[in-house]
Chain A
Amino acid sequence: MISFDDVDKSWGPNHVLKKLNFHVKPAEKVSIIGPSGSGKTTILRILMTLENPDEGIVTVDGDELWNVERGRRIRRETTQMKLTRRKIGMVFQQFNLFPHLSAIQNVMEAPIQVLGMSKNEAHERAKGLLDTVGLGEHLDHKPPKLSGGQQQRVAIARAMAMRPKVMLFDEVTSALDPELVGDVLDVIRDLATSTDMTMLLVTHEMRFAEEISDRVVMFDGGVAVEQGPPQKIFQDPDNERTRRFLKAVLEH
């Protein structure tokens, strides 16, 4: 469903992705772990076209998203890219809800503007999604009136409203107070078990990753240093760096 082939990315001397090869199967749930600065967010941002690779090919569901030759001028918004991008949804660490719109308007916005849905239809869909994420009582509240956990659940509903084939989650609980994390993880767990969406999660919630992932990928120094089933990675990693990283994280 997702493929990165020889993808390179640097900022100045900071070589973040080194000839990355990374593939995700349809419906697969993959967790990405690794130390800060290892390029986890960069991978998701390249998929969402918020960042461009310097080199390499990225495809989603068989359609090319990026095909960059080093030194060639990069076109940020091709028609092909826009079409391919529709298959992807993303949930951000900082939610990034539209603060001037109510919860339900946030969720209705893209179906109306992008899919050309009627207001009624979009409203139905948005209401259904907000019910699912436990915000059925807060449809008309604006984001500043909602808790972080509620905002993040609206953000998940907003991304789901476009029925993406691929969902990207970038540390979606890191900005939340600890007592609010559970509700958000519950929503993601439901999605993971009840849909055949391909999911890519960057997370520091190791237990959660272990529970819902089909595969865990450990990134460090611009490459995937180790990957495998969660039990294997978390209980008995082969790689020394994985071992040290997990030890450091789990001690917290």
Chain B
Amino acid sequence: MVWDRGAVSDSFPLLLAGLVVTLEITVLGSLLAYVLGLVFALIRRLRVPVLNQAVYLFVEFIRSTPLLVQVFVFFWVLQPAVGLPISAFASGVIVIGVHYACYTSEVYRAGIEAIPQGQWEAATALNLPRTRVWSGVILPQSVPRVVPALGNYTISMFKETPLLLAIGVQDLLNRAKEYGAETFSVTEAYTMAGAFFLVISYVASLLVRRLESRVGQL
């Protein structure tokens, strides 16, 4: 096995294009997971009739089935059944985002429960309307505290995006695979893909750790 330096520079543009796709999925999927997770948490906490039970069952279902199965079911079963042509990329974002929303909702729930009872009572004593209690008192205190936990889920998501190659998303790993198949420089392609993941995850987790210590001082 020889390390071919030429292959490294040669494959770089292709892998970079893949990395961009991987990052796009991570960013869009995270945004979906952040927003939807909060919506799920609020539905559960406010015990919105019907939706509450629906969210409960949905979260249980998502958490007890593998992500890859969810990807296949969405892309090969649901999507054709509904008849809406959704690209592999968009399907990936939706499935991963919704999947992680089921975990971030738990993060938000814990963040909301960590707010002392006295805050609710002070809000009641001041007669603040319910919506204002949430938007002005509870969420501004709980959301900053959960940012590091959300960051950790984003890192996990980033590392799980490669399984989307199963539906043909042109992500980093898929590009590495493609390059390897065409040029037989498998070693270089996969090693570089791994290195990209390593560096980005590592830097991101350092950032999250810094955020954690800042949040610890809140």
Contacts and interface: CB of A to CB of B under 8 A. Distances in A.
A82 B128 CA distance: 10
B126 A109 contact: yes
How many chain B residues sit at the interface, stated as a range, is 10 to 19
Contacts of A88: 125
Contact of A82 (B127, B136, B140): B127
A68 B118 CA distance: 25
B119 interface: yes
A86 B118 contact: no
Given A109-B136, A113-B136, A96 B118 contact: yes
A238 B116 CA distance: 42
B127 A86 contact: yes
A97 B118 CA distance: 9
Interface string A80-105: 00100110111010101111100000
Given A113-B132, A114-B129, A50 B119 contact: no
Interface in B127-143: 127-129, 132, 136-137, 140-141
Contacts of A113: 128-129, 132, 136
A60 interface: no
Given A94-B118, A100-B140, A158 B126 contact: yes
A85 B127 contact: yes
Given A50-B121, A94-B118, A99 B141 contact: yes
A92 B124 contact: no
B118 A98 contact: no
A89 B129 contact: no
A32 interface: no
Contacts, number: 51
A159 interface: yes
A110 B118 contact: no
A233 interface: no
B96 to A, nearest CB: 32
B122 interface: yes
Given A99-B141, A100-B140, A110 B126 contact: yes
Contact of B137 (A85, A90, A98, A162): A98
Contacts of B125: 48, 50, 88-90, 92, 159
Contacts of A86: 127
B126 A49 contact: no
A159 B123 CA distance: 11
Given A99-B141, A100-B141, A114 B127 contact: yes
Interface string A104-129: 00000110011000000000000000
Interface of A: 48-50, 82, 85-86, 88-90, 92, 94, 96-100, 109-110, 113-114, 158-159, 162
Interface of B: 116, 118-119, 121-122, 124-129, 132, 136-137, 140-141
26 contacts: A48-B121, A48-B125, A50-B121, A50-B124, A85-B124, A88-B125, A90-B125, A92-B118, A92-B121, A96-B118, A96-B119, A96-B121, A97-B122, A98-B119, A98-B141, A100-B140, A109-B126, A109-B128, A110-B126, A110-B127, A110-B128, A113-B129, A114-B126, A159-B125, A159-B126, A162-B126
